[in-house]
Amino acid sequence: MTTQQPSSPDTSSRTPRVAIVTGASGGIGRAVATRLADDGMTVVAHFSGNRDRAADVVAEITHRGGSAIALGGDIADENAMADLFAEAAARFGGLDVVVHTAGIMPLAPIAEMDLETFDRVQRVNVRGTFIIDQLAARELRPGRAIINFSTSVTRLQMPGYGAYAASKGAVESLTLILARELRGRDVTVNAVAPGPTATPLFFDGKSTEAVEHIASLNPMQRLGTPEDIAEVTAFLAGPGRWVNGQVLYANGGAA
């Protein structure tokens, strides 16, 4: 009796691989985009509202010898994202990796958050993830990877993060179910759940004392960096083929 060996990406005839990184104009998204480019991938750097920062990401990648373009669009608009995926595939001949970092994080106690803000968080973080995952599931070539972004707050349960944590709980469920729905496709689906990470999104509205306190909560006694998160993402996008249907908590041991 012979046992069929698991397949691995055929990089000999499909180089470079093509990766879409949503939210690439943000702190973690930028680090992920440049890290994947360093691994030899052609990067489609998605942006929602900040074209200039996305252009900076592309310029950085090309300066380092990589290949990248910037494409924009509302992450929760199915037509805009379908156009983005279609343009990326048409330009580069196919798609291999989708990393979905885009999201928003308005904070307020549950008793005080207005429903308009709550709905906006769910639209961007949940609907946006559903749309990106749906397109990725339809378009990715075999032997490739979908990587969503959750948060360690789903475990830390910090006050003020109710709406955000609720949206990321949904992201985790979508991730684990999609991994099983893609049975037989040789496409991995995982989520990265960063802990507090030194990005503008994290620092917004926090005092120095609050930042120092949060940084002290994990055994490493520091905030994560975007590069820390990018390393985990690059593993899932490349050599981590036997990791599938998982949520990887990248938080320095906070929970």
Q: What is the pLDDT of residues 88-112, one digit of tens each?
A: 999 999 999 999 999 999 999 999 9
Q: What is the pLDDT of residues 127-163, one digit of tens each?
A: 999 999 999 999 999 999 999 999 999 988 889 999 9
pTM value is: 0.91
State the pLDDT confidence band at 250, using cuts at 50, 70 and 90: very high
| Structure-model confidence comparison of residues 221 and 31, the more confident one | 31
Q: What is the pLDDT of residues 174-216, one digit of tens each?
A: 999 999 999 999 999 999 999 889 888 788 778 898 888 888 8
**18-250: what fold?**
Rossmann fold (3.40.50)
In the chain, what are the domain boundaries? 18-250
Sequential DSSP letters for the chain: ---PPPP----SSS-S-EEEEETTTSHHHHHHHHHHHHTT-EEEEEESS-HHHHHHHHHHHHHTT--EEEEE--TT-HHHHHHHHHHHHHHHS-EEEEEE---------TTT--HHHHHHHHIIIIIHHHHHHHHHHHHEEEEEEEEEE--THHHH--TT-HHHHHHHHHHHHHHHHHHHHTTTS-EEEEEEEE-SB-SHHHHTT--HHHHHHHHTTSTT-S-B-HHHHHHHHHHHHTT-TT--S-EEEESTT--
**pLDDT for the residue 210:** 85
**pLDDT for the residue 12:** 40
Indicate the average pLDDT of the chain. Answer: 92
- Which residues does the annotation mark as catalytic? 164
